[in-house]
Chains A and B, each alone.
Chain A
Amino acid sequence: MTNKEKKAAPKGKGKPPTKKAAPKRKRKPPTKKIPMPEQDAKKRSHNFDEVALGYTAKQAKAEAAKCIQCRNPKCISGCPVEVDIKGFVLLVAEGKFMEAAAMIKETNSLPAICGRVCPQETQCEATCIYGIRNEPIAIGRLERFVSDYARLHGEPLPELPDKIGKKIAVIGAGPAGLTCAGDLTNMGYDVTIYEAFHKPGGVLIYGIPEFRLPKDVVMAEVEFLEKLGVEIKYNHVIGKIRTISELMEEDGFNSVFIGSGAGAPNFMRIAGMNLINVFSANEFLTRVNLMKAYKFPEYDTPVKVGKRIAIIGGGNVAMDAARTSLRLGAEAMIVYRRAREQLPARLEEVHHAEEEGVDFNFLVNPIEVLGDEKGSVIGMKCIRMELGEPDDSGRRRPVPIEGSEFDLDVDMVIVAIGNSPNPIIPESTPGLKISRWGTIEINEETGMTDVSGVFAGGDIVTGAATVISAMGAGKRAARGIHDFLNK
């Protein structure tokens, strides 16, 4: 009812000027989010510094003041970890930034990250009531502002309960594992994270580039967890150096959480995929981000950079690969088989990519990567697509237009068409139930797998998804583990 009223109201009031002499009670024009200062597009497309610079205190307060403090705020249910948005936004409006940060941290242990990478337009901001008539409150930007503010001003550690005396092993230091570890530590458990790489963060470190998520932001969030008492053991590939059953039976862990992500890159089933200038986005981004290949030869890891690079895909991964290519001096073109409206990437990333000069080819599908006798890429054969009937996902399925083949003039190809779960854990852990996509099946409520005491969450369960959903899964599993151990 209230909804209807609201929708009806503006129409009735603002539309037909039947009574000409009516009092001037015009509705204000819809407001926009206060823009966030950014590095100039031309300049930033040549550096790896962060693109968005963040609100000033004044901007944050002004943006927060627009929130109408709804009696029944819809924003909160749009957030997968149910941040008390209404509450923290009010604190921001009042200038109580540290309090706001503490309030967010109650439910979200990595807010500086979420503020930067959550797809807000489909989550919290999508449901914001203020956003019905205006641009929604810039919840992500505010979250980013307060957590950056708190980090710079020295966050106090929360008070921890007494130790319970039970040990939990967490596999993977990605968002799912870090969240699960943080929550369990807050409950009094001793938590050890085993991480395959030499750095924590998972995709946050090796995948998402510096210019979108500075690595010291990630490291600061991880150090905060370490201060709480979480121990991280690097260079430990579980399933190889230790198996899950060894962790439980020999090393004395009472429970295990698997947050090993979906890191195995998919390639297309077309000819030319193994040419030497064809890379998975994972490889390209890992070389550049984790191994710092953009500083070669100061850093030893090299990276190939073509003159004209085609990036296959339309998600965040593709945007990141394209924008990284630009920054390394290449021309970058996205090749996406569906239409612009169907791009799965965050809106802001698409927007930034366009500003920076990434070229978009919609409704185009590669059918062969062309190579020379040395194995180098000399072009990519593509076909144009049109939208047909909706498929399972409800999106209109792209179908090839016969006879529309053409060659794209490129000398390097980056494949960003998705990732699958890494097989190492499933293969080394008898008893786990594995879906036909290679994901681990769990009890949705508890987060527990078919192996008693072993929990899982994040991309390893859902397939490639989002940072915040992985964190939500880590949280749920932490609760599940606590309940399991207190049965």
Chain B
Amino acid sequence: MYEVLDKKIINEITKMLVVQAPDIARVCKPGQFVMIRINETGERFPLTVADFDRKKGTVTITFQEVGKSTRLLGSLNVGDKIMDFVGPLGKPSPSDKVFGTIVAIGGGCGSAIVYPVARAFKEAGNTLITINGARTMDLLIYREELESISDEFYETTDDGTCGTHGFVTTVLGDLIKQGRKIDLVFAVGPVPMMKFVAKTTEEAKIHTMVSLNSIMVDGTGMCGACRVSVDGQMKFACVDGPEFDGHKVDFDELMARLNAYVDQEAVSNEKWASEHGGAE
């Protein structure tokens, strides 16, 4: 059992939990994830290691409440226990390498995932430009954290309530147009966002990495649920990734596969809502 030591409500739909998991905290690296099963009837689902403290033996997860499992997780309080917490899984980001100038892009909850990787990139000696985007100001997360590690920091909102009115690709496109030397773009967010980031950098031939969030069951390479097409080849996101070359990923296929369980997700969601109120 893995105890929740701290909890922060970042905004209406985004929560952060600090979980006691010393063995994972000891070795995890930016870019890796954990598989969680909250209780006996729970499903296994992946969340990125958003932060860790090797001394305290804690792992931080930040997540958006999008369905039954993430809502259940969000309902846990300090002192509650998570039944299974498996990790660190996936290949770490190459965040200890020096590329030069890196543009790190976080969209929605992706900002939480980008944060530890971007911080490591910065610590390794890269110049860090960060673009933090969301639908609206209230949904922008990790603002101070990201700003504090960045050499340049931009924010965008779809509705213009904060920062640039537009998408993360609006700012990214401008940077490219200005002829800025960019050695790597690292983007995490909703699939359409990552797809358009990859499109934006393709012509300028800027190496672009994205972190894929395919549906997973075991997270250890044993089921193939997470398979994605990269450069026409089948890859398992949980063991071969989750980070891949954005110019080679078949995003449309990934989007279709993410919708595989919409009907059942709706059932789970309704069940949760009827039992806990706050239907949506």
Q: Which residues of B contact A298 (CB under 8 A)?
A: 41
Among candidates B84, B227, B257, residue contacting A375 with C-beta atoms closer than 8 Å: B257
Q: Are B257 and A297 in contact (CB under 8 A)?
A: no
Distance of B58 from chain A, by nearest CB (Å): 15
Are B221 and A422 in contact, CB atoms less than 8 angstroms apart? yes
Query: Is B218 an interface residue when CB atoms closer than 8 A count as contact?
Result: yes
Whether B43 sits at the interface, judged by CB under 8 Å, is: yes
Q: How far is the CA of A304 from the CA of B37 in the complex (A)?
A: 20
By beta carbon, the residue of chain B nearest A237 is B220
Smallest CB–CB gap between A421 and chain B, Å? Answer: 10
Contact with B along A238-276 (1 / 0, CB 8 A): 001110000000000000000000011101000001101
Knowing A265-B222, A424-B221, A424-B239 touch, does A300 contact B268 (C-beta < 8 A)? yes
Q: How far is the CA of A296 from the CA of B88 in the complex (A)?
A: 28
B217 touches A267 (CB 8 A): no
Chain A residues near B41 (CB-CB < 8 A): 292, 298-300
- Tell me whether A294 is interfacial, beta carbon within 8 Å: no
Q: Is the CB of B87 within 8 A of A241?
A: yes
Q: Which of A100-108, A278-286, A399-407 contacts B (4 or more CB under 8 A)?
A: A278-286
For residue A404, give the distance in angstroms from its CB to the closest CB of chain B. Answer: 28
Chain B residues positioned under 8 Å from A277 (CB to CB): 260
Secondary structure call for the B interface? mixed
Given contacts A241-B27, A267-B234, A300-B41, contact A276 B268 (CB under 8 A): no
Asked whether A296 lies within 8 Å of B264 as measured between CB atoms, the reply is yes
User: Contact flags (1/0) for B44-72 with A, using CB distance below 8 Å?
Assistant: 10000000000000000000000011000
The chain A residue sitting closest to B83, CB to CB, is A198
Which of A274, A301, A422 is close to B220, meaning CB atoms less than 8 Å apart? A422
Which residue on B lies nearest to A421, using beta carbons?
Answer: B221
Q: How far is the CA of A287 from the CA of B44 in the complex (A)?
A: 10
> Does any Cβ of A come within 8 Å of B85's Cβ?
yes
By the criterion CB–CB under 8 Å, are B23 and A300 in contact? no
Q: Kindly supply a per-residue 1/0 record for chain B positions 247-277, scoring 1 wherever the CB is within 8 Å of any chain A CB and 0 otherwise.
A: 0000001001101110011011001000000
What are the residues of chain A within 8 A of B260 when measuring CB–CB? 276-277, 304
Instruction: Judge if B191 is at the interface, Cβ distance under 8 Å.
Output: no
B68 touches A300 (CB 8 A): yes
Contacting pair B89 A237 (CB below 8 A):
yes
Q: Is residue A197 within 8 Å, beta carbon to beta carbon, of the partner chain?
A: yes
B234 adjacent to A304 (CB under 8 Å): no
Given the contacts A299-B41, A300-B68, A304-B260, A282 and B224 also touching, CB distance less than 8 Å: yes
Once bound together, how far apart are the Cα atoms of A274 and B250, in whole Å? 11
Question: Smallest CB-CB separation from A422: which chain B residue?
Answer: B221
A286 near B223 (CB under 8 angstroms)?
Answer: yes
* Contact in complex: A241, B223 (CB < 8 Å): no
Bitwise interface map of B from 23 to 44 toward A, beta carbon under 8 Å scored 1, else 0: 1100100000000010001111
- Interface status of B229 (Cβ within 8 A of chain A): yes
Question: CB of B225 within 8 A of chain A?
Answer: yes
| Contact call A287/B239, Cβ cutoff below 8 A | no
Residue from B83, B87, B220, B271 in contact with A424 in the complex, judged by beta carbons closer than 8 Å: B220
A422–B222 alpha-carbon span in the complex (Å): 7
Query: Chain B residue with minimal CB distance to A374?
Result: B256
Given the known interface contacts A196-B86, A241-B88, A296-B264, the answer about A291 and B43 at a Cβ–Cβ threshold of 8 Å is: yes
Residues on B with beta carbons closer than 8 Å to the beta carbon of A240: 27, 87-89
Number of A residues, CB within 8 Å of B: 40
Given contacts A283-B217, A283-B225, A291-B217, contact A302 B265 (CB under 8 A): yes
B218 with A286: CB separation less than 8 A: yes
Chain A residue at minimum C-beta to C-beta distance from B261: A302
- Give every chain B residue within 8 A of A279 (Cβ-Cβ): 224-225
How many whole Å from A131's CB to the nearest CB in chain B? Answer: 38
At the interface, yes or no: A149 with Cβ under 8 Å from chain B?
Answer: no
Cross-interface CB contact of A282 among B24, B89, B223, B271, cutoff 8 Å: B223
CB distance from A417 to the nearest CB of B (A): 12
Q: A48 near B: Cβ within 8 Å?
A: no
A285 CB to closest chain B CB (Å) equals: 9
CB distance from B260 to the nearest CB of A (A): 4
Q: In whole angstroms, how far apart are the Cα atoms of A469 and B203 in the complex? A: 55
| Residues on A with beta carbons closer than 8 Å to the beta carbon of B239 | 422-424
Given A286-B218, A291-B43 in contact, is the A265-B261 Cβ separation under 8 Å? Answer: no
Instruction: List the interface of chain A (C-beta within 8 A of B).
Output: 196-198, 206, 234-237, 240-242, 263-265, 267, 273-274, 276-277, 279-280, 282-283, 286-287, 291-292, 296-302, 304, 374-375, 422-424
- Give B contacts to A, CB under 8 Å: 23-24, 27, 37, 41-44, 68-69, 83-89, 217-218, 220-225, 227-229, 234, 236, 239, 253, 256-257, 259-261, 264-265, 267-268, 271
Given contacts A198-B37, A198-B86, list 8 more A-B pairs with CB under 8 A. Answer: A198-B84, A240-B89, A263-B221, A279-B224, A292-B41, A296-B267, A297-B268, A298-B41
21 contacts between A and B (CB under 8 A): A237-B87, A237-B220, A240-B89, A241-B23, A264-B221, A264-B224, A265-B224, A267-B224, A274-B257, A276-B256, A282-B223, A286-B223, A291-B44, A291-B217, A297-B267, A298-B41, A299-B43, A304-B260, A423-B221, A424-B220, A424-B239
**Which 8 pairs between the two chains have the least Cβ-Cβ distance?**
A375-B256, A302-B264, A283-B223, A263-B222, A300-B43, A301-B43, A280-B224, A276-B260
